[in-house]
Structure 1
Amino acid sequence: MLPSQEASKIYHDNYMRNSRTIGVLWAIFTICFATINVVVFIQPYWIGDSVSTPHAGYFGLFHYCVGDGNSNRELICQGTFSDFSSIPSGAFKAASFFVLLSMVLILSCIACMALFFFCNTATVYKTCAWMQLLCAVCLVLGCLIFPDGWDAEVIRDMCGEETGKYTLGNCSVRWTYILAIIGILDALILSFLAFVLGNRQRDFIHDEIKAENKDLAVSRIEIRAKDPRFGVQQFP
């Protein structure tokens, strides 16, 4: 084996080992992000009551629970995604749609990981990267649109008269909203990493092909140099 071939093999082995490790971590964190996305969509704790509100309650994208006014412990829950008319605000409906779309995209991204066994690795990474980027965009839209519905009557009844669009009044932001913002950052980082892995994989394949062609050319030159049919035979 030629020295250049040995160096290329060592580089190839090291690259594949590191690439697999980073790829596995990327896949694990993608699954974790998908879990976050599902929780953000389902859990009704985007905003909620505080010590200043007249009664207890909390609101999600489409499901909400508020006190009946007689007891702070007894909550009346309403709203389902299957019945859009039960969602208290048009902004909540739009936010629900975008967060749902984000969830579908990230679950589709996980399904696309099976293509690593059948398709070009760089292509799969870039496909997943675009899906994760779109997922982040949908989450951003959901988080930006959701506060536009804070002026709904049922929210004003609980959070006070000062409550309005992008003004929460006496209520407070809950953990699910914060988790959604963290999910946006997570999706952007995962998308960037997938783009990097895809580009490195493509560049590595190109470099490997060039190295193989170079080694093949060198081998042919050496064969020609040693074969007397390709040169003038010298006699002592």
Structure 2
Amino acid sequence: MCHVIVTCRSMLWTLLSIVAFTELIAFVSTDWLIGKAKPLSSKEMDNRTGGSQEPYHPMLGIYGRCTRISHMQLSRRDTLCGPYAENFSEIASGFWQATAIFPALGIMILCTMAFVSVITTCVQSIMKKSIFNACGLLQGIAGLFLILGLILYPAGWGCQKAISCCGPYASAYKLGDCYLGWAFYIAIGGTILTFICAVFSAEAEIARSSDKVQEELEEGKNLICLL
């Protein structure tokens, strides 16, 4: 018989595990590197009768970028965003290929943990082992994959794609004329949150194994909700 056990700490861990999966948003974004503003030419200014007059900022992600569409008229945003690499071998550099692999593995684990965390209210063990401890271990491994990706990413700033976006002074761990976009900081936040989830899974297990829960189980209750 399934015993549904819900505690404040287990619910918080579930919510954090789901939020950590937002790491995927950073991974697919092009807002990792933001290039120096490029003012519009006089010809482009003449072509615009109702479009934005703001200067153009090129953006470059791990495998995607945003580029300007020339001679676009009556457009609020004159940029086209999409992948610059049609296959894995075309990703800008070996370091960025590693940056694509390690976070992808971490995100796959986080996706699985987000799903598993929802069913922990009913399933508390796997092969007589605590599901919270198992999930915490996997979240820790996911966090290590994410850290590896973040460390290797700046090493690829010297690739040709980055130089074309950030200028000739861009090199490994040197941004040149670029600055970091919101996706990079979201990736850092998601990594930190992943490790918080890994640690907090132990608290969820302690709450599930508390004396109060055991007492209610012995009383034959199938639904247990504790603060």
Q: Do both proteins adopt the same fold according to a TM-score greater than 0.5, normalized to the shorter chain?
A: yes
Contact kept? 1:150, 1:167, Cα under 8 Å: yes
| CA–CA distance in structure 2, aligned partners of residues 66 and 20 of structure 1 | 49
In the alignment, what sits opposite 1:9?
Answer: none
In the alignment, what sits opposite 2:131?
Answer: 124
Bigger radius of gyration, 1 or 2? Answer: 1
In structure 2, the CA distance between the partners of 1:176 and 1:138, relative to structure 1 (3 Å rule), is: same
The number of aligned residues is: 190
In the alignment, what sits opposite 2:140?
Answer: 133
Superposed displacement of residue 67, structure 1: 4.3
| CA–CA distance in structure 1, aligned partners of residues 113 and 152 of structure 2 | 25
Which string of whole-angstrom CA distances, capped at 9 and with x for unpartnered residues, describes residues 157-187 of structure 1?
Answer: 2211110001010101000000111111111
Provide TM-score, normalisation by structure 1: 0.69
Which string of whole-angstrom CA distances, capped at 9 and with x for unpartnered residues, describes residues 33-61 of structure 1?
Answer: 11x21101111111111237996311112
Superposed displacement of residue 62, structure 1: 1.2
* Greater relative contact order, per chain length (Cα 8 Å cut-off, separation 6+): 2
Classify the secondary structure of the residue corresponding to 1:117. coil
Q: State yes or no: 1:61 paired with 2:65.
A: no
Contact kept? 1:50, 1:171, Cα under 8 Å: yes
Q: Which amino acid aligns with 2:89?
A: S
Q: Which amino acid aligns with 1:31?
A: I
| CA–CA distance in structure 2, aligned partners of residues 152 and 48 of structure 1 | 15
Classify the secondary structure of the residue corresponding to 2:130. helix
In the alignment, what sits opposite 2:37?
Answer: 51
Superposed displacement of residue 74, structure 1: 4.8
| CA–CA distance in structure 2, aligned partners of residues 125 and 164 of structure 1 | 43
Q: State yes or no: 1:181 paired with 2:179.
A: no
Contact kept? 2:7, 2:208, Cα under 8 Å: no
User: Over aligned residues, Cα RMSD in angstroms?
Assistant: 3.2
Match of 1:92 among 87, 91, 96: 96
Contact kept? 2:157, 2:163, Cα under 8 Å: yes
Classify the secondary structure of the residue corresponding to 2:36. coil
Match of 1:196 among 183, 190, 203: 203
| CA–CA distance in structure 2, aligned partners of residues 147 and 70 of structure 1 | 34
Superposed displacement of residue 76, structure 1: 7.2
Superposed displacement of residue 110, structure 1: 2.1
Q: Which amino acid aligns with 2:109?
A: L
Classify the secondary structure of the residue corresponding to 1:65. strand
Contact kept? 1:56, 1:73, Cα under 8 Å: no
5 Å-filtered alignment, 1:1-236, equals 20-34=7-21, 36-51=22-37, 56-67=57-68, 73-75=78-80, 77-80=82-85, 83-113=87-117, 114=119, 116-120=121-125, 123-199=130-206, 201-202=208-209, 204=210
Looking at secondary structure, tell me which structure has more strand per residue: 2
| CA–CA distance in structure 1, aligned partners of residues 124 and 11 of structure 2 | 17
| CA–CA distance in structure 1, aligned partners of residues 7 and 93 of structure 2 | 46
Classify the secondary structure of the residue corresponding to 2:31. coil
Looking at secondary structure, tell me which structure has more helix per residue: 1
Superposed displacement of residue 68, structure 1: 7.5
Contact kept? 1:66, 1:158, Cα under 8 Å: no
Contact kept? 1:53, 1:159, Cα under 8 Å: no
Superposed displacement of residue 73, structure 1: 4.2
In structure 2, the gaps of 5 or more residues are 41-55, 219-227
How much identity, in percent, do the aligned residues show? 19
